[in-house]
């Protein structure tokens, strides 16, 4: 009798099935994560693979990048989010939060130099 981990001739193991299922096309697998980033996060930017390793670690970087680009176009949020690919990583940058963070850092740096003036 064959157990669930030993495939029949030409059959797949559970690990092989999981890999195929996780790497296959699934409708709308990027839109919900994009919405979470935009609506539920306070981060200015995230690394997609580090934020959602269970969902995206096995994904090809080109597919991952294109998936988030398409999701941002479909949701009409291209003015709010920038999708960036660097080597094998994909980043989501919230443009408004990043600008606010940059302004805060610039102000803090400006104030610290003013405090040192006599």
Q: Report pTM.
A: 0.69
Query: Is residue 11 in a domain?
Result: no
**Domain limits for position 67:** 28-110
Number of domains in the chain: 1
- pLDDT of amino acid 104: 84
Highest average pLDDT, of 6-10, 26-30, 69-73, 105-109, comes from: 69-73
- pLDDT of amino acid 5: 57
User: Of 27 and 74, which is predicted with more confidence?
Assistant: 74
Query: Is residue 83 in a domain?
Result: yes
Does residue 1 have a pLDDT over 60?
A: no
Q: Which two tokens stand for residue 30?
A: 């990027």
Does residue 41 have a pLDDT over 70?
A: yes
Query: Is residue 118 in a domain?
Result: no
Does residue 20 have a pLDDT over 80?
A: no
Averaged pLDDT, 4-20: 68
Query: Is residue 15 in a domain?
Result: no
Helices (H), 52-92: 53-56, 61-74
Query: Is residue 54 in a domain?
Result: yes
Query: Is residue 1 in a domain?
Result: no
Mean per-residue pLDDT of the chain: 83
- pLDDT of amino acid 2: 46
Query: Is residue 12 in a domain?
Result: no
Integer angstrom CA distances of residue 18 from 7, 13, 55, 61, 80: 14, 9, 12, 19, 34
52 band by pLDDT with thresholds 50, 70 and 90: very high
Query: Is residue 13 in a domain?
Result: no
- pLDDT of amino acid 12: 76
């Amino acid at each position: 009798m064959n157990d669930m981990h030993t495939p029949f001739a030409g059959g797949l193991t559970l690990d092989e099935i999981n890999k195929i299922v996780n790497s296959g096309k699934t409708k709308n697998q990027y839109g919900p994560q994009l919405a979470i980033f935009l609506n539920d996060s306070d981060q200015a930017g995230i690394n997609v693979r580090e934020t959602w390793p269970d969902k995206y670690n096995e994904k090809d970087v080109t597919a991952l990048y294109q998936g988030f680009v398409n999701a941002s176009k479909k949701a009409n949020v291209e003015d709010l989010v920038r999708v960036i690919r660097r080597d094998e990583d994909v980043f989501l940058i919230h443009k408004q939060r990043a600008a606010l963070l940059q302004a805060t850092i610039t102000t803090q740096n400006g104030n610290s130099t003013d405090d040192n003036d006599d």
